[in-house]
Amino acid sequence: MSALPNVLGRPLARRLLLAAASAIAIVAVVAVRTGAGSDVPPADDGTATASPDRIILSPAADTATSQTVTWRTDEATQEGEVQVAPADDPDQVRTVEADASVAERLPNSRLSARHHSATLTDLEPSTAYTYRVGHDDDFSPWTTFTTAPAADSTDPWTFLYFGDAQWGLDAGWSSTVDQAFAQYPDARIALTAGDQVNDGNDDHQWEQWFEAVAPWASTRSFLTVAGNHEHYGDEQTVRYRSHVQYPRNGPEGQDDLTYRVDVGDVRFITLDGSITGGPSDPTDDGLGALQAAWLEQQLADNPRTWTVVTIHQPMFSAAKLRDNLAQRTAFLPLLEQYGVDLVLQGHDHAYARGHLAENDVAGGYSGPTYVVANAGDKYYDLDPAGRNNWTINDAVRDAAADKISTYQAVRVEGDRLVYSSYVATIDDSGVGTGPLPQGLAPGELLDTVTVTKAVDGRPFVPR
176 touches 196 (CB < 8 A): no
Cα pseudo-dihedral 67, 73, 78, 80, rounded to 10: -30
Mean pLDDT of 264-274: 95
> For a pLDDT cut of 70, what percent of the chain falls above it?
86
142 touches 85 (CB < 8 A): no
- Looking only at the bridges linking them, the beta strands covering 113-120 and 157-162 are unpaired
Strand partners, 445: 422
318 touches 382 (CB < 8 A): yes
**pLDDT per position as a tens digit, 375-384:** 999 999 999 9
Higher pLDDT, 109 or 36: 109
Res. 214 pLDDT band, cuts 50 70 90: very high
Cα separation, 420 vs 398, whole angstroms: 14
Mean pLDDT of 101-110: 69
Quickly list DSSP for 47-96. Answer: ---SS-EEEEEE--SBTTT-EEEEEEE-TT----EEEEEETT-TT--EEE
Name every residue whose Cβ is closer than 8 Å to that of residue 323 and which is 6 or more positions away in sequence: 282, 317, 389
Cα separation, 376 vs 317, whole angstroms: 18
Residue 12's pLDDT is 33
Q: What is the pTM of this model?
A: 0.88
Is the pLDDT confidence value at 4 over 50? Answer: no
**pLDDT per position as a tens digit, 385-438:** 889 999 999 999 999 999 999 999 999 998 999 999 999 998 876 445 565 666
Among 168, 86, 89, 79, which Cα is nearest to 120's? 86
Cα separation, 270 vs 380, whole angstroms: 24
Tell me phi and psi for residue 18, to 5 degrees: -70, -40
Cα separation, 42 vs 107, whole angstroms: 9
Residue 234's pLDDT is 84
User: What value does the mean pLDDT of the chain take?
Assistant: 86
Name every residue whose Cβ is closer than 8 Å to that of residue 193 and which is 6 or more positions away in sequence: 161, 162, 163, 164, 225, 227, 310, 311, 312, 344, 345, 346, 347, 373
> For a pLDDT cut of 90, what percent of the chain falls above it?
71
Least confident of 235-249, 289-303, 310-324: 235-249
Cα pseudo-dihedral 337, 341, 343, 349, rounded to 10: 140
Tell me phi and psi for residue 282, to 5 degrees: -90, 5
The SS3 call for residue 321 is coil
Strand partners, 38: none
71 touches 116 (CB < 8 A): yes
Go through 31-57 and write b for each residue having 16 or more CB atoms within 10 A of its CB, e for each that does not. eebebbebeeebbbeeebeeebbbbbb
Residue 47's pLDDT is 77
45 touches 54 (CB < 8 A): no
Among 385, 396, 352, 394, which Cα is nearest to 371's? 352
Q: How far is CA 367 from CA 55, 287, 455, in A?
A: 37, 25, 13
Mean pLDDT of 124-129: 96
**pLDDT per position as a tens digit, 39-87:** 445 555 557 899 999 999 999 988 999 999 999 998 889 999 999 999 9
Mean pLDDT of 298-311: 96
Cα separation, 101 vs 13, whole angstroms: 25
**pLDDT per position as a tens digit, 181-208:** 999 999 999 999 999 999 998 889 999 9
Residue 16's pLDDT is 32
